[in-house]
Chains A and B, each alone.
Chain A
Amino acid sequence: MIENNKKLKELKHKLDKFESTKEKIATTKKESGAGFGFKISTEIIAALAVGVGIGLIVDNFLNTKPFGLIIFFILGALAGFLNVYRVMRRIEKQ
Chain B
Amino acid sequence: MAAKGEKHSPLEQFEIIPYSKTEFGGYDISFTNSSLSMIITVAVITLFLTLTVNPRSIVPSRMQLISELMYNFIAQLLSDTVGDNGKKYFPFVFSLFMFVLIGNMVGMIPYQFTFTSHIIVTFALASVVFIGVTILGFVNHGIKFFTFFYIPGVPFYMHPLLIPIEVISYLSRPISLSVRLFANMLAGHTLLKVFAGFVVAMPFFTGALPLAFIVALTGLEILIAFLQAYVFAILTCLYINDAYHLH
Contacts and interface: CB of A to CB of B under 8 A. Distances in A.
A75 B164 contact: yes
Contact of B176 (A46, A72, A75, A76): A46
A78 interface: yes
Interface residues of B, number: 17
A56 interface: no
Chain A interface main SS type:
helix
B175 A49 contact: yes
Contact of B183 (A38, A47, A50, A76): A38
Chain B interface main SS type:
helix
Nearest to B227: A35
B40 interface: no
A38 B180 contact: yes
Interface in B179-196: 179-180, 183-184
B168 interface: yes
A83 B180 contact: no
Interface in B196-247: 224, 227
Q: How large is the interface on A (under 10, 10 to 19, 20 to 34, 35 or more residues)?
A: 20 to 34
Contacts of B183: 38, 42
B47 interface: no
Given A50-B171, A83-B172, A75 B179 contact: no
A42 B176 contact: yes
Nearest to B220: A32
Contact of B168 (A39, A42, A51): A51
A45 B179 contact: yes
Interface of A: 35, 38-39, 42-43, 45-47, 49-51, 54, 72, 75-76, 78-80, 82-83, 86
Interface of B: 161, 164-166, 168-169, 171-173, 175-176, 179-180, 183-184, 224, 227
29 contacts: A35-B227, A38-B180, A42-B176, A42-B180, A42-B183, A43-B176, A45-B176, A45-B179, A46-B172, A46-B175, A46-B179, A47-B168, A47-B176, A49-B172, A50-B171, A50-B172, A51-B168, A54-B171, A72-B168, A75-B161, A76-B168, A78-B161, A78-B165, A79-B166, A79-B169, A80-B172, A82-B169, A83-B172, A83-B176
